[in-house]
Amino acid sequence: MNALLEMQGISKHFAGVKALSDVTFAVRPGEIHALVGENGAGKSTLMKVLSGVYPHGSYDGAIVFDGEERRFSDINASESLGIIIIHQELALVPLLSIAENIFIANPPGRFGIIDRGAVHQRTKELLAKVGLDESPDTLVTNIGVGKQQLVEIAKALSKKVRLLILDEPTASLSEKDSAALLDLLLEFKAQGIASILISHKLNEVSKVADRITVLRDGRTVDTLDCHDGAVEEDRIISKMVDRDLEHRYPKREPNIGGPIFKVTNWSAYHPLHSERQVIRNVDFEVRRGEIVGIAGLMGAGRTEFAMSIFGRSWGQKITGRAEMEGRPIDLSTVRRAIDAGLAYVTEDRKQLGLLLAEDIRKNVTLANLPAIAPGRIIDDMKELRVASDYRGRMHIRCHSVFQETGKLSGGNQQKVVLSKWLFTDPKVLILDEPTRGIDVGAKYEIYCIINELADAGKGVVVISSEMPELLGICDRICVMNEGAFVGEFTGTEASQEKIMRAIMRKGEQRPMEALA
């Protein structure tokens, strides 16, 4: 079968560093072709070359599409041929509505007049296709990052797609929404639309991909044909990291002590709709040396709960009592929450966790400036030592700590966020989707860091949409639904089936025994 796309001998340099080296990659018509590799392997760079983000002349090699060599000057040139890319970084305007974002470049209308009725109706159809139950008039800023990803996908579907490139499309989605998106890709395949799927979720890749190309260190390692039989995840991982991963989750012998952090009767209302109670009279406790997971579907209130605790970063009319080591603490501001011993790693590292235009050095020290600024003047050498130390400890791949943080891969950006909060020396660390968009090798490193924190006597709270992750690293798992905890299991007793059964049973909190 003739290829729809061929990328031949693609090489790309950044400031003397080779990001891609003689990469070959091809996609057949109507094929779902997965592109996998560790963070920094070159996946996103290769797709930016293909889509014209990096224009012809900025790389070596050739792009052949539909049998003709193409020299894209920008993304508009590739889109004109039906090559549509959805970047891992969202490209939405927060203060515009969903409908305005989807049709911002090409709204339906006649004689220069926008047909707002057609915009509204077409948006509803697209949102239904991606499984998003929101009004087209809703402002993007008022929906979570997961729903924003669905808007991005709907925006891509509004164009005439021949080759759809999805860079970590399910990273922000629940299992249900992820499954719906994968089914959508299979529908596209039946319609003859080809797709390139970049994902760290290898179970999803194995489910839908016809072929899998593995990149490592900017080079093509292998292309696996899934029609020859199911490709085992361990085989893919071995090619990605050039080593066998005997275990996905590091072994640990927990040494759990007494309670370190506790909230009682905690409630919070929606920041825009004061009548809507989102967090409902929650009681929650973390012990020394304990890793506690919070499971739940999208919209269950997990992130809202965490942010309301962390200096009332989310919500209004927040009530409840908080204690650290048995003493009442004031969580009324972020600064006071940090001083009390809390740290919160946000799920949205790009918007809320980092200053992308600043270098690694400044981001690492940002949350604890007093530690490097005696007399309120920053000690540049001390700041450099701290950043360099965390660069080594966290294995951050970068040219130097003076590198712009926005130029790092997603996994390395996440390590910078973790470094920033570890530098505050917290007693309790809340991690919201800590491994989202991160490859298996980097995930293992972060799991090791989580274990080290727990072994040091700190309390760790992990919010994750990946149930295997919670089951693999947590000592205890609390299940949240509709703003309340509806189940609790020890790590040894928990299972995906029990967690889902607890989620589906709506109502007040139940003891663990009632759900086991």
Domain identity same for 399 and 443: no
Dmax (CA) for the chain in angstroms is 71
Of residues 159 and 389, the one with the higher pLDDT is 389
In a domain, 128, yes or no: yes
pLDDT in the model for residue 508: 38
Question: Residue 402 in contact with residue 371, Cβ under 8 Å?
Answer: no
In a domain, 202, yes or no: yes
Of residues 451 and 39, the one with the higher pLDDT is 451
In a domain, 483, yes or no: yes
pLDDT in the model for residue 514: 36
Domain identity same for 51 and 158: yes
Q: Could you tell me which residues come within 8 angstroms of residue 204 by beta carbon, excluding any fewer than 6 positions away? A: 170, 178, 182, 197
Mean pLDDT of 77-106: 88
Listed ranges 86-90, 138-142, 151-155; the one with the highest mean pLDDT: 138-142
Question: Residue 165 in contact with residue 51, Cβ under 8 Å?
Answer: yes
Domain identity same for 454 and 367: no
Q: How does strand 342-345 pair with strand 60-65?
A: unpaired
Domain identity same for 190 and 268: no
Domain identity same for 234 and 256: no
In a domain, 254, yes or no: yes
Domain identity same for 446 and 419: no
Mean pLDDT of 420-426: 94
Domain identity same for 227 and 334: no
The mean of the pLDDT values for the chain is 88
Domain identity same for 111 and 70: yes
Mean pLDDT of 301-314: 94
Domain identity same for 431 and 410: no
Domain identity same for 285 and 410: no
* CA atoms of 303 and 204, how far apart (whole Å): 24
Q: How does strand 459-463 pair with strand 428-432?
A: parallel
- CATH number (domain holding residue 232): 3.40.50.300
Question: Residue 164 in contact with residue 156, Cβ under 8 Å?
Answer: yes
Q: Where is the domain boundary, 377, 406, 424?
A: 424
Asked if pLDDT for residue 166 goes beyond 70, the answer is yes
Closest by CA to 409, choosing from 149, 75, 52, 167, is 167
pLDDT in the model for residue 279: 95
Domain identity same for 164 and 200: yes
* CA atoms of 56 and 53, how far apart (whole Å): 9
In a domain, 501, yes or no: yes
Question: Residue 34 in contact with residue 55, Cβ under 8 Å?
Answer: no
Domain identity same for 498 and 454: yes
In a domain, 346, yes or no: no
In a domain, 16, yes or no: yes
Mean pLDDT of 90-104: 90
pLDDT in the model for residue 199: 86
Mean pLDDT of 430-452: 85
Structural domain including 364 reads 351-424
What is the domain count for the chain?
A: 3
In a domain, 375, yes or no: yes
Where does the pLDDT of residue 262 fall: very low under 50, low under 70, confident under 90, or very high at 90 and above?
very high
- At residue 501, the 3 state secondary structure works out as helix
Q: Where is the domain boundary, 424, 441, 473?
A: 424
Q: Where is the domain boundary, 212, 241, 270?
A: 241
382-392, pLDDT tens digit by residue? 999 999 999 99
Asked if pLDDT for residue 195 goes beyond 60, the answer is yes
* CA atoms of 494 and 477, how far apart (whole Å): 7
Asked if pLDDT for residue 243 goes beyond 60, the answer is no
pTM more than 0.75: no
